[in-house]
Structure 1
């Protein structure tokens, strides 16, 4: 399953990747305003997901969900609110109106970096809160950065490395990664191993796939 809150039109690529369902900003019921590039706040996306997918009886599932609230231009930003207040998203109208304006923060690199940092804080707060409130013994989450932000934020010499974390309550899940050399916590140690995307994919699928053979797990879906 794919939940794509940043998509505003059909995503036929989902068929290629074999997703059985694809949700996007057009069919998740959001009744609030967009926050610049982001059609809906991350907390709304996870709230909708909990009410309509995760929180109802379901078979084991794999969900790909690219969150969007930390996407440029970082103004205005949503605020983290009580989960019971999220509703259909109408509550965000006032939050959006009271938020900072793009033209004001992009005039000042210091303000721009501060708002980027706040966007990351918002998304991380949302994800961790959702896990604490709604995660269960069967929940396993892998979350990672998409790419580096603008050079205005990180400079011209930043690498393309992004952090990645696996969270699970089931200790047997974490035990399977004990040989990876990863460190505890959501902030990677500076000496943590650096893998390319395909290297992580193959290692992850080999470790957790049904056969233990990456070639079978990564076989394209049958048509």
Structure 2
């Protein structure tokens, strides 16, 4: 009896369509949901060819073999989903070691309770069991269909043809055929699995990786160009070049930038800007902090770990050696941070140590304006001529995903440093605006605008006149906000009342104002696409600008 007449052919066809759909899925950007693609999986063709050969020589495969094949297929399907989804939603490839370590923190940040996380894990396990059962059912249908000799011959011939088309090396010379092949055939999953295995091995056995990139020559520079000024390095969370490159985002933030510029000018301060390429995208801010503070490439999280276990110099240690009191102002640090010992701060003020006594707000508890008010009161407000100048590193929190809640801000810096910083009504109003992970861009722009607001208010108000402020975006926001295919660039602003210092930055390629010029950041092209200078390269630029020697043949951003 013909296969289709008995129903086995229809089951075979349906099973192949399901398996192919699972192995070729794309991403419904910017959501985590998959979407079907009109493509064919070469790996499915290879599996079918093997089954056809087995069926020809030994008959129908046994139950154990089908269960093993279903387990391998489940692994392939999960790898395909993670490969396309993480890249699309977060704008970067998956790193199983680091992403796995921080998955629970991300869920807690999203407001998930321990019970909700446990329920989600159970639901995920049940979903995996259901998916495995469906895949096994499909392979059982395929095996039943291949028992029919005519179906076996047709599928074997089709699989061979597909594999030849997929992997024939000479076909790459035919541009039209290559274009068709790219559209019709799905990208194999095996290379993605091999890549993730290589990444995981590099994290577990770091001795097998390449050595760290060279450090800048800290010893060859002085800080004489600063003339003893306090320096505040603000890592502005998730402040990406999308706020400049995307016309809608640039327009939405134009009033906030204009207000900040006017405030700076009214206070006698100038600003110059550029852009650099962050070592991370959508998260893992510490990689960007380390890259700039140490001048070492930290795109590989393993390099970050090895850096912190080394005795490399840093901006912190350099400022300390040359007479600055160094402070790590870390209101987001809610647990022990032994890694901070690498930098050698004179003081590390964490969430408990900054002295905040006001009402807590959201996951991060301490709003940025209150953190800045306390920083000013404790470190910047009353420094005498005999006291050491300050070098302060302050990573902000307000624009961290999901970009809410945001507290109200009225510019009362004296009150923000007290236990009366916020009223219960303020907190209730902020919490009444829930985070929306599916429509995050409006909240993101609001959070960046709010940060520019309080920063401008501080610099036009209580800030010491000689204060040099560096504002550096640590990374782009995740891809649902920054946009599909966004660069890894971030803005950099230098704000100071010292015109000579700003002129040195201009000589090094910075442009005046808060919007980097169209060609800013690409003066030192590092690749075929003219990529911006990496953030680690900005460290040498800062060393050159902070020195008092003539600027000639120095690195440019």
Fold shared per TM-score above 0.5: yes
Question: How far apart are residue 149 of structure 1 and its match?
Answer: 1.1
Report the alpha carbon displacement of residue 142 of structure 1 after superposing the two structures with TM: 0.6
2:346 corresponds to which of 9, 20, 24: 20
Whether contact under 8 Å (2:376, 2:463) holds in the other structure is: no
Spell out, residue by residue over 1:12-51, the C-alpha distance to the aligned partner (whole angstroms, 9 max, x if none). 2222111111111101221234433323111101100111
Higher relative contact order (CA 8 A, sep 6+): 2
Looking at structure 2, the residues matched to 165 and 87 of structure 1 have their Cα atoms a distance apart, in angstroms, of 26
- In 1, Cα distance between the equivalents of 2:512 and 2:348? 33
CA–CA distance in 1 between the matches of 2:437 and 2:453? 27
- Quote the offset at 1:210 in angstroms: 7.8
Distance of aligned partners of 1:166 and 1:124 in 2 relative to their CA distance in 1, 3 Å threshold: same
Asked whether 1:95 is paired with 2:426, we answer: yes
TM normalised by structure 2 equals: 0.36
Q: Deviations over 1:83-129 (max 9, x none)?
A: 23324254423222112557x441652xx211111110111111121
Please give the alpha-carbon distance, in whole angstroms, between the structure 2 residues aligned to 1:189 and 1:38.
34
Listed as ranges, the matches of 1:5-84 within 5 Å are: 5-57=331-383, 58-81=387-410, 82-84=412-414
Distance 1:144 1:67 in 2: 11
Say if 2:456 is the partner of 1:118. Answer: no
Question: Highest Rg: 1 or 2?
Answer: 2
Please name the residue that 1:173 is paired with.
501
Q: Does the CA contact (< 8 Å) of 1:44 and 1:89 recur in 2?
A: no
Q: Who is 2:543 aligned against?
A: 205
Distance in 1 of aligned mates of 2:445 and 2:417: 26
Structure 1 residue 85 corresponds to structure 2 residue 415: yes
Mapped contact 1:32–1:91 kept (Cα < 8 A): yes
Contact 2:368 2:397 in 1 (8 A): yes
Unaligned 5+ runs, structure 2 = 1-326, 522-531, 551-557
Which residue, 106, 126, 136 being the options, matches 2:436? 106
Q: Which moved more, 1:203-212 or 1:45-54?
A: 203-212
Q: Using the alignment, how far apart are the partners of 1:190 and 1:211 within structure 2?
A: 29
Q: Measure the CA separation in 1 of the matches of 2:379 and 2:330.
A: 14
The answer to whether 1:129 aligns with 2:460 is no
Give the TM-score of the pair, scaled to structure 1: 0.84
Query: Which stretch shifts more, 82-91 or 179-188?
Result: 82-91
Higher-helix-fraction structure: 2
Q: Is residue 196 from structure 1 mapped to residue 534 from structure 2 by the alignment?
A: yes
The secondary structure found in structure 1 opposite 2:461 is helix
CA positional deviation for 1:3: 0.3
SS across alignment from 1:22: strand
Kindly indicate whether the alpha-carbon contact (under 8 Å) linking 2:508 and 2:541 is maintained by their aligned counterparts in 1: no
Alignment RMSD (CA, Å): 2.2
Any unmatched runs of 5+ in structure 1?
Answer: 213-223
Kindly state the Cα deviation for residue 209 of structure 1 after the two structures are TM-superposed: 4.4
2: distance between equivalents of 1:141 and 1:91? 24
Alignment partner of 1:154 out of 479, 482, 485: 482
